[in-house]
Structure formats: C-alpha cells, structure tokens
Structure 1
C-alpha cells in the first residue's frame, strides 16, 4: 500500500493515477478481509475499486491526460497533511489493543446488539439490523455520497461541447 501511495504522489499521468487509486482501494479491501470485516471489504471493492474507478475514468475523458506542474511547492498542504496524520496517530494511543476481548465494544456494545437487536428492530439478522437500523443514517449518507458523485460525473459528461462542423 505504501508503494502505491508513493507512486500516486509522484506520477503525473492521470490514467496511471486512476489505476493506482483502484489498486490502493483493492489492497485496502484485502486488508479488511484479513481483519475479518468481509462486509466492509466487499463495499470497498465495489465502491472504491469499482464504481469510483469507472467514474474517474469517465471524468478523465473531459480533461488532459497529464497533470499540470504546480506553480509553487505544496509545502503548506504537506504540513497540514502531516499534522493531521500525527493528530490521528495520537488519537489512537488510548484505544485498546486489537482483538482485546475486554475492549468496551466486546463487553457493552456487541452483547446489547445481539440480545436486544431482534426485539428492537424486528429484524432477525443482526448484521442487517445494525446496518439498516442502528446505522441507518450512516448507510443513507454513504449512499447519498455515491449517488451525488454519479450525478456529478453525469453532469460533467453532459456539458461536453459539441464542435460544429467547419467551425473550430
């Protein structure tokens, strides 16, 4: 994944960037499978490596295939990115170790979903109950983002200028 990120930062050909982005998304999906989050992996593979790649390729048809060289060095965005990354890493220091059976999610949240989920939601499948009921607004938000991106690409493709014959 780090090789893909470094390549993404160095490549100027936008087609190669889209392919590397799809590769990175696919690698993220394989990490999710290794973490036993198959539902998240399938979503990442479908949306990240699939739909997003197709939408980006469609948008690429509207622009040049080479990214323009920046006028100045991007030191401020780099500093903001590094600062944000450090804050995020700092925020993980208080988290319990991975797969700790005594973590709050395993002692409080999961048992509540397993015991009360079918009664509260009326859905016998716990995963469906969590995604559709407890996290319903989150799922709606994700769907809205993908729908909005698709509409944006369709709008961009619809704005293509048709050159009349004989006129430049």
Structure 2
C-alpha cells in the first residue's frame, strides 16, 4: 500500500507541475517506484525492464528533448474535461476487466493449474536447462525478450540522435530563441 500511495502522489505531482525538468525527473521516480512494485509482486524480469527502459532510457530521452525545446509547459487553450473523461472511462473499464481475475497467488488460478505444471514437466527435457525460469525467459519467451532488447536498443539510438542534433545545433550557433522560460 505504501508503494501505491507513493505512485499516486508522484502521478499527482507530475500532473500539477509546469516545469518540464521536474516532470522528467518525477517520471523517472514513478518508473523506479513501479519497478519496486514489480519486485514486490515477484516479477523481477518486468521490474528490470521497467527500471532500465522507464527510469533509465526514457529519462535520458526526456532530458535530451528538453535540451532541444523549452523549459516550461505552455498554457493549454482547451478544457481538460474531455481528456479527463477519456482517462476516467479507460480506468473504469480496466478496473471492471480485473474484477473476475483470480486472487494473486491463488492455487486454483489458471497459471498454477495449467501453465506452470506444463513448464515444470517439459522444460528440462525440451530445453535442457535445469533452471525453469531461465528456460522460460530464454526459450519459450525468446521473442518477447528479443522485443524488449529491441526497445532498449531503439531508445539508445534515439538518445544518440538527440545528442548529435544538440551538438550540431550548438556548432551552428543557434541562439535558442525558441526556448521560452529558460
């Protein structure tokens, strides 16, 4: 409950702040809190990906973007009612969708009665790796792991492009007049 409370407080701080640097830093904090929550839920592989991509690469990308843009968010000219309504409806649908899920760690959950026994029985013979978790991540979920690696690689390339664009901008002597509020 403490992690959920800190997540909600961080999200509210992100929504309320107008300084983009503070928003980028708070987003990194939110990702680290999410990673801690995943560790508590025994999803260490998801926690590692969240920490690396959410807190690491995304924060660096946001800071790189801030170096190329303004420092303060411009005032909105439209009413926030419609976006708030869409977010509220999406949240309600997501909560409704979780009402019939089994309790976390329940012995009669489909993952415990169908999936886990199958992996425990087949993995040593099919994969030849004694550690079932490694067998699942490296073999059965190999394409998923490849996809996660591709996301991290793409984010790294994006950071390199941002850094090179900033370097070219400084070399050409751009005065940065478009950076309001700096």
TM-score by length of structure 2 reads 0.81
Q: Is the 8 A contact 1:59 1:153 kept in 2?
A: no
Counterpart among 38, 60, 65 of residue 54 in structure 1? 60
Counterpart among 136, 151, 163 of residue 172 in structure 2? 163
Summarize the alignment of residues 77-156 of structure 1 with structure 2, pairs less than 5 Å apart: 77-156=83-162
Aligned length: 166
3-state DSSP class of the match of 1:155?
A: helix
Give 1:108 deviation, angstroms.
0.9
Give 1:76 deviation, angstroms.
2.6
Deviation larger for 110-119 or 66-75: 66-75
Give 1:149 deviation, angstroms.
2.2
Structure with more contact order per residue of length (Cα contacts < 8 Å, sep ≥ 6): 2
Matched, 1:68 2:74: yes
Counterpart among 32, 35, 48 of residue 38 in structure 2? 32
Q: CA RMSD in A?
A: 2.0
Give 1:159 deviation, angstroms.
2.6
C-alpha distance in 1 between matches for 2:108 and 2:14: 39
Give 1:78 deviation, angstroms.
2.1
Give 1:40 deviation, angstroms.
2.5
3-state DSSP class of the match of 1:28?
A: helix
Give 1:105 deviation, angstroms.
0.5
Unpaired segments of 5 or more residues in structure 2? 1-6, 178-182
C-alpha distance in 2 between matches for 1:159 and 1:87: 41
Give 1:77 deviation, angstroms.
2.4
C-alpha distance in 1 between matches for 2:142 and 2:87: 31
Name segments (4+ residues, structure 1) moved above 4 Å. Answer: none
The aligned residue for residue 7 of structure 1 is 13
